[in-house]
Structure 1
Amino acid sequence: MPFMDLIKKAIFEEEPRAQQPANPAPAPAAGRAPQPASASKYVPMTGRDNQFYARLAKQTDLSAVPELAKIEQYAAPLAPVITDKSLRYKAALATAQSQGGLTKDAILKGFDTLLKLLDSSASTFNKQTDEVGKTEVEAKIGQISDMNEAIQQKQKEITDLQQQVKSMQAQAEVSRAKLQEAKGNFAAALERRRVEIQQQRKEFETILE
């Protein structure tokens, strides 16, 4: 899986649950030459770095460099006979040197080549994480900024509405007070006029006797 897919998977997928360690592989049958050791054998893969490590291990496997693949080719058949790793690889180098011209310097340069491949993978990974950062992080930060501005605008609108509510409440109180005053004035005028009419009635009643 390309680094870009692994990066996006690491961002969007939930952290996987820890798995139980697998049962150890059975020992190879007697007389059968073991396969060349894979780089993944040296570092246990646990957690989310599994997929990144598997990708790096595949890109920098010993088989990726002809000189390293060749020394493994000569060393593998000797494993059942020479159990000591140092002696086994020295014997393999002697055979490879006499038959194929392989040298110690070429083998060490092969590991330098693997390190360069690893650095190249790191450069590719960093470039792709920058790209994902622009699309998945910086873009979201921009959206967050836009939403914050929208929130501030809404808050301003709410503040303006609250001010309008306070102003209208004050106006309503003034109108209520004036209405009460008008009711009081009308009641007083009504009573005054009632008294006047009653007095005039009595006056006319006396005049017309």
Structure 2
Amino acid sequence: MTRLDPSVEYRPLIMIIPRRHLTERQLPEGYHYQSYDPTLEKAWIDLQCSVGLFKDPADAWAAWQTFVPSIERFLFVADTQGNLVGSAGLWPGTHFGPERLRLHDVAVREDHQHKGIAQAMICKLSVRYDEAPGKYPLYVVTQTNSYGAVALYSRLGFTPYLGAYQGCTEEQNHANWEIATKILREKVPA
């Protein structure tokens, strides 16, 4: 996960991964999962805004309020000083009609990125998802201006979803992925 790139046009993207594809990975040395604590609110809001997932702390706070009743589906990663450096969750989405869980709000502070924190959280949440009954693959909603995240999801085994979904025709989705592919070729080193 990197910061959203405001110079890149926003286009929504969905990626999916087969069930039972990932195994848990350890967090890098110096990091640990932190249990939910109501005092995480401000740190979570700061984290989400720092990577551009929310432009305004008020919007992040409103999202936080919707997450708290089901906070057990979220992970929080702290450094050795107890500072929140990463979070991710499984959250309901309705992109395919009926509500089902998806990977949501994966964020790692910029100065802690590229160490394996996001990978560890994604793998842990994927294993949790696989342990729940269901027939659908895990999915994640991302966007063209988050090409670093798209590259990470791809390396982990997520693939582009190319069909129609709520609010997006199959043709528009194909166009979005064509743009995303061009951006990835230009912006992400091979």
**Shared fold (TM-score greater than 0.5)?**
no
The one of the two structures with greater contact order (alpha-carbon pairs below 8 A, sep at least 6) is 2
TM-score category of the 2 structures, normalised to the smaller one: under 0.3
* Structure possessing the higher radius of gyration over alpha carbons: 1
Instruction: Return the TM-score normalized by structure 2.
Output: 0.18
- The answer to which structure has the higher strand fraction is 2
